[in-house]
Structure 1
Amino acid sequence: MPPAQRIDVGEVTLSVHLAGPEDGVPVLLMHGWPELALSWAQQIEDLAKAGYRVIAADNRGFGASDALHPVEAYGVDHLVGDFTGLLDALGIEKAVWVGHDWGGILMWHAACLVPERFLGAIGVNTPHLPRGSVPPTEVFRERGGEDHYIVAFQDEAMDEFFAGREEDFFAFSFAGPAPSADLDKLPDSITHLPKRFDNFVARGGLKSEDDCVVPPEVRKVYAETYARTGFRGGMNWYRNFDANWERLGGVDHRLSMPCQMISAECDYMLPPKLAGWMPMLCKDLDMNVIEDIGHWTQYEAPTELSELMLGWLQTRFPNG
């Protein structure tokens, strides 16, 4: 990873990693939960070597970036403003935005709200979806009850749930995927992350490194970072699901910029079939599925992910 630098983006200061030539086509990488800019380490290196100007920040509330306490400080306008503010601070008018997990949700929201700041968009695991007819937490509650992790995270007492258990938490979180053939057979309780985590710890935690897709030295960085920062910042992103849904009412979700979607065959939270909406929403769309991997694409298939991204970038946005 290139060294981080702190950049004032307006409301907050972000910890940002920059790589590649300053005159390269800018590519903005946005991470998910519970991750950091570190999750993009391989893509930062590969894209920079190919001549792209790579920008990867710890999101607001994560890692070495500023973390504000109020829940409302993590609404979509604030978060999108962080990244447009980052582009402004770097003197960049437009970039290719790339998002995974929550970074993908925010990236697609931004594509709807500030399309003038986009050259193109790449979703990793997270597809662009139409706005639902009811608030998202109602959907999650219907699917998984009060124990659905997104419903559970609405309670601010959950800020401390994983505290002191960070090493176990990341061993649990970065577990390998279920076989793709079993995805439709998984019970709703698969979404009960807090209960499943307690059971994982009670059974003695990680039994074998073969059960985890992220190596121990990387998990150690995550565990030490989250032990220092806590989990509130990231959970506040979840606490804005319904407010963001309200904000996006009346906003056109159809996108005209070039888009690439990279799904993971065995991601039980974001299965490839969810991307089935995208041809109706994205005018210019390239769709891909990486086989035999789950949610943690940057770790499970780093080379294939970089190759897919670069194949598309070099066709649509070549340097020079």
Structure 2
Amino acid sequence: MRGKVISIVLVVLVSVIAVGYMSGRQPDRDAVAAASKEFDTAFRGMFVDANGVRLHVVIAGPEDGKPILLLHGYPEFWYAWRGVMADLARKGYRVIALDQRGYNRSAKPSGAHSYRLNILAKDIVEVAAALGHERFALVGHDFGGQVTWWTSLLHPKKVVGALVVNKPHPYAIRDVRPEEEAISWYRTFLRVPWLPGHIARYGNWGLLEKNLQDTSEPGTFSKEVMDQYKAAWDRDGSIHSMGAWYRANATFDADVGAGLVTVPARLLLAKNDAFSPPELAFASERYLEKGDVRELHIGTHWVIQEHPRLIADEIDKFVGGLEWTSGR
């Protein structure tokens, strides 16, 4: 009897994998060209060798502009920042958005240990240096915000200032973990190896698409936008390496004392973020030596795509007030 049950389970799993693989297959799409056309902005994609891997970055704005690095979250890629990038480029900034390791066109090393937050933070510093920027402003959303916090903690001399959207300080999350975990069940699910990626592919990425559309303002994730995301998730097995972020960092910590962020920092919280309670955001303020927390009057968790001009203006106000003492 037991053997029969195991056989049935295996057949079901194989069927899910096979159907998911076929229904999730996507044609190759050029997100750089699509974004350039959508926002009438010259985006340029390129590859940078950094920290032992090859990472894909997209750049806009004048070469002599102050450098701002933009870090996406899950399940996004550089493309999430396209509207913000266009506005910042017009304001004269040199804007660099990464596909972080494991995502889209960037390298996907094997093993969850390759995605620890200290390694992701080093990626950022080395990408900036390879592009000629020893110091830079850093902006992150969602898990990209987590990388922003840790880059600021581990490499404070490199970060002129840090702005995070919808991602509380990691120690604030630790302090209030039960409340945070209650609305972040998906993070626990993503810590399971192998299975989440196969389920995500099922029904032409139906679960991921529904989650994005149900938790965002209407029209944010249109068919055209979803086509770009689906192509990125499908590319080189990205959907599996994307989840490694969560498997690698469930209990991550580093020797940073009390976790005080010493660089100028700001946390922005969208009014209708379904994934992070406001008390977590405001609890973050105690970890900011020279920073604050501000609540936006509109937007959901996906505010960087819903209101890119608003976010670009917030970044401009923050970065414009920083002291750039050593230039590029």
TM-score, structure 1 normalization: 0.80
* Distance apart, 1:50 and its partner CA: 1.0
Q: Distance in 1 between matches of 2:152 and 2:201?
A: 35
Is 1:312 aligned to 2:318, yes or no? Answer: yes
- Residue matched to 1:11: 52
**Which of residues 225, 228, 239 in structure 1 aligns to 2:235?**
228
Change beyond 3 A, Cα 1:150–1:128: same
- Residue matched to 2:301: 295
Look up the equivalent residue of 1:228 and give its one-letter code. Answer: R
**Which of residues 240, 259, 265 in structure 1 aligns to 2:265?**
259
What are the within-5 Å matches in structure 2 for residues 29-68 of structure 1?
Answer: 29-68=70-109
Q: Distance in 1 between matches of 2:141 and 2:55?
A: 18
Deviates more, 1:13-22 or 1:161-170: 161-170
* Distance apart, 1:243 and its partner CA: 4.3
When the two chains are superposed, the root-mean-square deviation of aligned CA atoms in Å is 2.6
Report if aligned partners of 1:170, 1:219 keep a CA contact under 8 Å in 2. Answer: no
- Residue matched to 1:154: 191
Look up the equivalent residue of 1:261 and give its one-letter code. Answer: L
Q: Distance in 2 between matches of 1:77 and 1:256?
A: 17
Report if aligned partners of 1:24, 1:51 keep a CA contact under 8 Å in 2. Answer: yes
The size of the alignment, in residue pairs, is: 283
Report if aligned partners of 1:263, 1:271 keep a CA contact under 8 Å in 2. Answer: no
* Distance apart, 1:292 and its partner CA: 3.5
Larger Rg: 2
Is 1:122 aligned to 2:152, yes or no? Answer: no
**Structure 1 spans left out of the alignment, 5+ residues:** 179-209
- Residue matched to 2:146: 105
What are the within-5 Å matches in structure 2 for residues 69-84 of structure 1?
Answer: 69-84=110-125
Q: Distance in 1 between matches of 2:309 and 2:74?
A: 22
Q: Distance in 1 between matches of 2:73 and 2:205?
A: 18
1:231-275 CA-to-partner distances (Å, cap 9, x unmatched) read 111100000223423xx2554411221112211111121133312
- Residue matched to 2:64: 23
Look up the equivalent residue of 1:218 and give its one-letter code. Answer: V
Change beyond 3 A, Cα 1:281–1:47: same
- Residue matched to 2:20: none
1:156-179 CA-to-partner distances (Å, cap 9, x unmatched) read 12231112434423431322448x
**Structure 2 spans left out of the alignment, 5+ residues:** 1-34, 36-42
**Which of residues 136, 158, 171 in structure 1 aligns to 2:209?**
171
Change beyond 3 A, Cα 1:46–1:250: closer
Q: Distance in 2 between matches of 1:141 and 1:313?
A: 29
Deviates more, 1:160-169 or 1:22-31: 160-169
Look up the equivalent residue of 2:284 and give its one-letter code. Answer: M
Q: Distance in 1 between matches of 2:257 and 2:236?
A: 34
**Which of residues 250, 271, 274 in structure 1 aligns to 2:277?**
271
* Distance apart, 1:134 and its partner CA: 8.7
Q: Secondary structure at the match of 1:77?
A: helix
Is 1:219 aligned to 2:223, yes or no? Answer: no
